[in-house]
Amino acid sequence: MNPHKEQTLTLYFDGSCPLCLAEMRLLEHKDQKGLLRFEDITAKNFSEDQHGVVCELAMKSIKGRLSSGEYLDGIEVFAKAYELVGLRTYAKCLSAKRLQAPLAWCYLKFAQHRHRLSKIFGPVALKLVNAYVGKKGT
């Protein structure tokens, strides 16, 4: 057993968004160490009180919580998730100090319009990810 246990990350995502769902399925597939947890904030049984995450805020920008209790927001959630699944190059790009402000702005704009974008790109993205990870259906 590893004496230096790695942190886990819970991602609070919008399961009604096909693009978001495609990203979560891809991350789940890449998560060979089991370090990620996924919580669909649109699920009927999701409890804001249990998770300490306000759905209204999480719908504006993805939220994450490390096993240490630290909360992450927006692009930093993806940077940590990519790091934990071994996509370190992507994680470094998302964590680069000089790119933080423009990436955060771009992500917030994407998040604001993700449902419209998902109507166009979501079904194809989800189909491609499902084929890649070997899942059937939506």
**Digit-coded pLDDT (tens) for 39-72:** 999 999 999 899 999 888 899 999 999 999 999 9
pLDDT of residue 89: 95
pLDDT of residue 1: 40
Average pLDDT per consecutive 10 residues, the chain (138 residues; last block may be shorter): 72 94 95 96 92 90 96 96 96 94 93 93 92 72
CA angle in degrees (0–180, nearest 5) for 67-80-57: 75
Total number of residues shown for the chain? 138
- pLDDT mean across residues, the chain: 91
DSSP label of 50: H
63 token code pair: 């939220």
